[in-house]
Structure 1
Amino acid sequence: MERKVAPRWQHRLTDGRIQCDLCPRACRLHEGQRGACFIRMRQGDVVILTAYGRSSGFCIDPVEKKPLNHFYPGSSILSFGTEGCNLACKFCQNWDISKSRETETLIDGATPSAIADACKIYGADSVAFTYNDPVIFAEYAMDVADTCHAVGVNTVAVTAGYICADARREFFAKMDAANVDLKCFTDDFYVRLCGAHLQPVLDTLVYLKHETGVWLEITTLLIPGENDSPDEIEAMCRWILRELGPDTPLHFTAFHPAWKLLDHPPTPARTLVAAREIAQQVGLHYVYLGNIHTTDGATTWCPQCHAVLIRREGYDIAEYRLTEAGTCPDCGATIAGRFGQFKGSFGNRRIPVYLEKR
């Protein structure tokens, strides 16, 4: 199954090329030429999405793996992506998908209704657009979101946030939650290691926080010698505090050599611990550590009375004390996030899903 959709965001240039206005790359395309993301291509007078209805695979994951620690903790989420990416991160952990230039990568096909049906069959509370950046397959993700919302399934975007204003407004109107990958806090890093720029990502974060109802969490992968200096971490945290507020969860995760950044060592656990301490000293309430074994760095604490509210071991929730209304049972403080009745922990499982092609 393949369906090609003419996207909304494009315009013709005076020299006959068509510019894709989905993301700040502004690819200017001749007939038959693909954009930097690979899955958006000019065909005639439009830029089409060649990956509509096709995926690199589907899995049921714990929502904490996205990572989202304040969006219905313990629930399960159906995850999928396509191929390609509009960034060129040399350290990409999913490079076999995001850097793929072979359409055979898209081995699984599914309509939006098939994905919604699978969520109900497998008991997934949400669907996540992830593995590669959903911004580039926005039309497909938006159609899936509409179909999932119709049957009571939440939608989550795991994204680098590199998207233009008009597309950003339409895309995130379909999302219930987002984890935005803030790669670093310098434009030099974005240019050298990602082939992009910092400011559009900051614009997306501010937009999500102040102009939408989307639940927002942030992830920063700390790479030794690149974006792990205490000064840069403090500057980033102060920006988050000032522009997004102290209740925005921040996840520091450990780098492991991948793709074209094999000459850098893995991130020491002490670097993540120090980054968390900086963020907490700045005033952020919810700071987590990922890709390392940690209990304190995975636990949700009450920012008012400092009681343990959610204790995690890996992706498994070992202790859950939040009230159904999302408040601390000891002091009554409201905890930022989206909560409800805790139904137990999905745990550390990862379940491959095979959808019927229809």
Structure 2
Amino acid sequence: MSGSTATCAVCPRNCRLASGALGACRARRNVGGAVVPEAYGRVTSLALDPVEKKPLTRWRPGGYVVSAGSYGCNLACPFCQNHRISQAGERNVGWRELSPERLVGLTAEAAARDPRVVGIAHTYNEPLVTWEYVRDTALLARERGLATVLVSNGCAEQGVIEQLASLVDAANIDLKGFSPALYDACGAPPGALDAVRAAIERLFAEPGCHLEVTTLVVPGMNDSEEEVEAMAAWLASLGGGRGAERITYHVTRFFGRWRMADAAPTPVSVVRRLADVARRHLVHVRVGNC
């Protein structure tokens, strides 16, 4: 019915939307009583990136991916590095339609020119707010022998992750911190940390998915040794302790952006010290932006 409300089931926010209303992520809308991915196929950013930039350091090193991003996100991190698209809606950002068929076709053409091109990365904004586009593109990519990479905050309902897990060849999930308070500061819905942890656990358990995890270290928010050690210990415990060898953990330096544009960068010494803390539990720890 045209006047009926609908609940979005993509993330723990579970937006209750009147007919025609847009969700908090700015990418999904109630159309005729059904919540649809309005940003489906609306690409704001397209680039050819080395896989190491995602960052993925232990998956197909030396390879390249066609990186595609849209607009919208279900979080509002005050330090967002891509806020111009992640915090935008259709009316205040430039985009163009790019169907899954066309994106896969462009990537196949790039791979024909350069065999180092191995697939497509869904990145820049939050891909899961239009997870259907990731799914449809991944299915076509697999038919062409192309890989799918997911770079995400992981804040989604388990059913969404379940739909995608077997289609994702590599993922980097952003673990922002290890407390609900940190996720509250990022504008996340209640239950966000649990959802992110569940997403990491599910992707780790998927045999065909290579998983890496990133924490952007923001001074005064998540830069304590206790918090980083808790995250690293939990990651190491996955799969009965197999996470210690299998998961690559990126401890990344913050630079001021968006609502924290005036904040000082994380001291390099802090990033390196926290990486050493993580190494108490994990074999593969990398520092970024240093």
Match of 1:136 in 2: 129
**Do 1:62 and 1:77's aligned partners in 2 also have CA atoms closer than 8 Å?**
yes
Runs of 4+ in structure 1 off by over 4 angstroms are none
Secondary structure (helix, strand or coil) at the match of 1:283 reads coil
- Long gaps (5+) in structure 1: 1-11, 293-358
1:239 alignment partner, one of 234, 238, 260: 234
Secondary structure (helix, strand or coil) at the match of 2:30 reads strand
- Residues 264-314 of structure 1 show CA distances to partners (whole Å, capped at 9, x for unaligned) of 31011111110111111x23110001112xxxxxxxxxxxxxxxxxxxxxx
**Do 1:24 and 1:162's aligned partners in 2 also have CA atoms closer than 8 Å?**
yes
| Larger deviation, residues 242-251 vs 180-189 | 242-251
**Do 1:218 and 1:251's aligned partners in 2 also have CA atoms closer than 8 Å?**
yes
**Do 1:92 and 1:259's aligned partners in 2 also have CA atoms closer than 8 Å?**
yes
Secondary structure (helix, strand or coil) at the match of 2:150 reads strand
The structure in which a higher percent of residues are helix is: 2
1:200 matched to 2:195? The reply is yes
Match of 2:114 in 1: none
| Larger deviation, residues 206-215 vs 233-242 | 206-215
Match of 1:101 in 2: 89
- Residues 242-283 of structure 1 show CA distances to partners (whole Å, capped at 9, x for unaligned) of 125112100011111111123431011111110111111x23
Match of 1:259 in 2: 258
Aligned pairs for 1:90-169 (under 5 A) are 90-103=78-91, 105-123=93-111, 124-169=117-162
The structure having more radius of gyration, on CA atoms, is 1
**Do 1:83 and 1:106's aligned partners in 2 also have CA atoms closer than 8 Å?**
no
Q: Which whole-Å CA distance do the structure 1 matches of 2:100 and 2:66 have between them?
A: 13
**Do 1:82 and 1:106's aligned partners in 2 also have CA atoms closer than 8 Å?**
no
Aligned pairs for 1:8-87 (under 5 A) are 16-87=4-75
Percent identity reads: 36
Secondary structure (helix, strand or coil) at the match of 2:259 reads coil
Q: Which whole-Å CA distance do the structure 2 matches of 1:213 and 1:194 have between them?
A: 32
- How well do the aligned residues superpose, as a CA RMSD in angstroms? 1.6
Match of 1:284 in 2: 282
Amino acid at match of 2:81: Q
Q: Which whole-Å CA distance do the structure 1 matches of 2:92 and 2:98 have between them?
A: 15
**Do 1:57 and 1:108's aligned partners in 2 also have CA atoms closer than 8 Å?**
no
Q: What is the CA distance between 1:193 and its match in structure 2?
A: 2.6
- Residues 42-85 of structure 1 show CA distances to partners (whole Å, capped at 9, x for unaligned) of 01121111112220021000000000011100100000111010
Normalising by structure 1, report the TM-score: 0.75
1:175 matched to 2:168? The reply is yes
Secondary structure (helix, strand or coil) at the match of 2:269 reads helix
Normalising by structure 2, report the TM-score: 0.92
Q: Which whole-Å CA distance do the structure 1 matches of 2:235 and 2:268 have between them?
A: 23
Amino acid at match of 1:234: E
Secondary structure (helix, strand or coil) at the match of 1:191 reads helix
- Residues 154 and 98 (structure 1), Cα distance of their counterparts in 2 relative to 1, 3 Å cut: same
Amino acid at match of 2:176: K
**Do 2:165 and 2:202's aligned partners in 1 also have CA atoms closer than 8 Å?**
no
| Larger deviation, residues 111-120 vs 219-228 | 111-120
